[in-house]
């Protein structure tokens, strides 16, 4: 029997992504019964907040609490722009994006690389064919703007999801710029120096929080870069269910890079039992690959975000571990 036959949900989500054959409609329906009511309440509270503080000029404790509980979809584009500082950056250079697009000095090799990746970007999204030219514009403009980065695989997923959410090329460009230059700098450069450093930091966090999991992963021989590079490079886009990614990004734009570590660490902590049940490297690799397809823990975006913030993690610990990783590279 078709799984969708007994479900009130279609086989395409609200963002246009097709649900996989193994999608758990039953558990998703149970989750959404409560989550939709939560979303309605959150939207009413956000309407009040935006009336009181339309500029969102300061992310105080109350606003941070609201952001962690989720920004309603219709408000996400403008709220992301404001809380990240991208809107202020855009006001300082209002003509930047259009001037970059009008440039006649695009690098052909970069242009070709972007063009090759466009068909690979969200092929399971029924609306994305109409967005590919706009995605190309964002990526080529950013490559021209930031010559040190140019174009790196992974940026297509970040920019593509930004475009799906904002439906606006220019906002997507400014949010992409903020992510690459302020949230995860040097993750997408040619040597990816900060990515390698932060993967070492992540491993140390796993050792400290769930040492049994680290020992098991090490014993099976699956390197951390194989497990988590895409998590960090794409900030979980094309890794976790879309709504879960967007809830993570809500927090990333408000609180910065620490959220990426929280999400990655929560992946290991919440899946401790299933990771330890993997008895060989292939099973472990398949487990991490399948998390997005059929995993109730990450589909419950509200519960997953709560698990992220249940973890004790201070910026000072991350900065200390970063210094050690720089002094003692792998």
User: Would you state the pLDDT for residue 23?
Assistant: 74
| CA trace torsion 303, 306, 312, 318 (10° rounding) | 90
Q: Give mean pLDDT, residues 107-120.
A: 94
How open is the CA angle 264-204-226, to the nearest 5 degrees? Answer: 55
The answer to whether 90 touches 179, Cβ cutoff 8 Å, is no
User: Would you state the pLDDT for residue 80?
Assistant: 98
Residues of the chain with CATH 1.10.472.80: 193-324
User: Would you state the pLDDT for residue 57?
Assistant: 74
Q: What would the two tokens of residue 245 be?
A: 């990614």
The answer to whether 124 touches 159, Cβ cutoff 8 Å, is no
End-to-end C-alpha distance for the chain, whole angstroms: 51
pLDDT above 70 for 99: yes
Lowest pLDDT segment from 13-27, 57-71, 174-188:
13-27
Gap between the Cα atoms of 285 and 294, Å rounded: 15
Three-state SS at 20: coil
| CA trace torsion 223, 228, 230, 231 (10° rounding) | 180
Encode pLDDT of 43-55 as tens digits: 999 999 999 989 9
Residues 6+ apart with CB under 8 A from 93: none
Q: Which residue has the higher pLDDT, 74 or 8?
A: 74
Residues of the chain with CATH 1.10.8.270: 85-183
**What's the CATH class of domain 85-183?**
mainly alpha
pLDDT above 80 for 22: no
Encode pLDDT of 207-225 as tens digits: 999 999 999 999 999 999 9
Three-state SS at 9: coil
Q: Which residue has the higher pLDDT, 169 or 32?
A: 169
Which residue blocks in the chain are alpha helix, DSSP H? 25-52, 61-68, 76-84, 86-92, 96-101, 108-117, 132-145, 155-166, 169-178, 193-209, 211-220, 224-234, 242-255, 258-270, 272-277, 281-290, 296-299, 301-310, 315-327
pLDDT above 90 for 247: yes
The answer to whether 220 touches 278, Cβ cutoff 8 Å, is yes
Q: With bands split at pLDDT 50, 70 and 90, how would you rate the model's confidence at 4?
A: very low
User: Would you state the pLDDT for residue 220?
Assistant: 97
Encode pLDDT of 282-328 as tens digits: 999 999 988 766 677 888 888 999 999 999 999 999 999 999 998 77
User: Would you state the pLDDT for residue 330?
Assistant: 60
Residues 6+ apart with CB under 8 A from 329: 196, 197, 200
**What's the CATH class of domain 193-324?**
mainly alpha
Q: Give mean pLDDT, residues 146-160.
A: 95
Residues 6+ apart with CB under 8 A from 278: 216, 220, 284, 287
């Amino acid at each position: 029997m078709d799984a969708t036959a007994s479900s009130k949900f279609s086989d395409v989500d609200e963002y246009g992504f097709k649900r996989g054959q193994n999608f758990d409609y039953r558990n998703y329906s149970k989750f959404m019964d409560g989550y939709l009511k939560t979303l309605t309440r959150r939207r009413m509270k956000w309407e009040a907040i935006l009336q009181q503080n339309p500029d969102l000029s300061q992310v105080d404790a109350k606003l941070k609490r609201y952001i962690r509980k989720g920004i309603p979809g219709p408000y996400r584009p403008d709220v992301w722009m404001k809380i990240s500082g991208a809107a202020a950056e855009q006001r300082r250079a209002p003509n930047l994006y259009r001037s970059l697009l009008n440039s006649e000095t695009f690098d052909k090799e970069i242009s070709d690389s972007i063009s090759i990746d466009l068909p690979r970007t969200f092929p399971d999204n029924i609306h994305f064919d109409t967005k590919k030219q706009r995605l190309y514009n964002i990526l080529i403009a950013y490559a021209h703007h930031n010559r040190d980065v140019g174009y790196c695989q992974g940026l297509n997923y970040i920019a593509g999801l930004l475009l799906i959410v904002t439906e606006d090329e220019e906002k997507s460009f400014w949010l992409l710029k903020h992510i690459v230059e302020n949230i995860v700098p040097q993750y997408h450069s040619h040597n990816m120096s900060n990515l390698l450093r932060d993967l070492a930091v992540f491993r140390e966090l796993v050792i400290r929080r769930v040492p049994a999991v680290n020992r098991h992963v090490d014993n099976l021989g699956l390197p951390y870069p194989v497990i988590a590079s895409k998590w960090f490079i794409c900030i979980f886009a094309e890794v976790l269910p879309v709504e879960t990614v967007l809830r993570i990004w809500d927090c990333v734009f408000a609180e910065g890079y620490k959220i990426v570590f929280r999400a990655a660490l929560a992946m290991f902590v919440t899946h401790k039992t299933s990771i330890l049940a993997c008895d060989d490297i292939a099973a472990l690799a398949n487990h991490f690959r399948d998390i997005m397809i059929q995993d109730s823990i990450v589909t419950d975006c509200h519960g997953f975000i709560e698990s992220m913030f249940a973890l004790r993690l201070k910026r000072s610990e991350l900065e200390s571990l970063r210094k050690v990783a720089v002094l003692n590279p792998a």
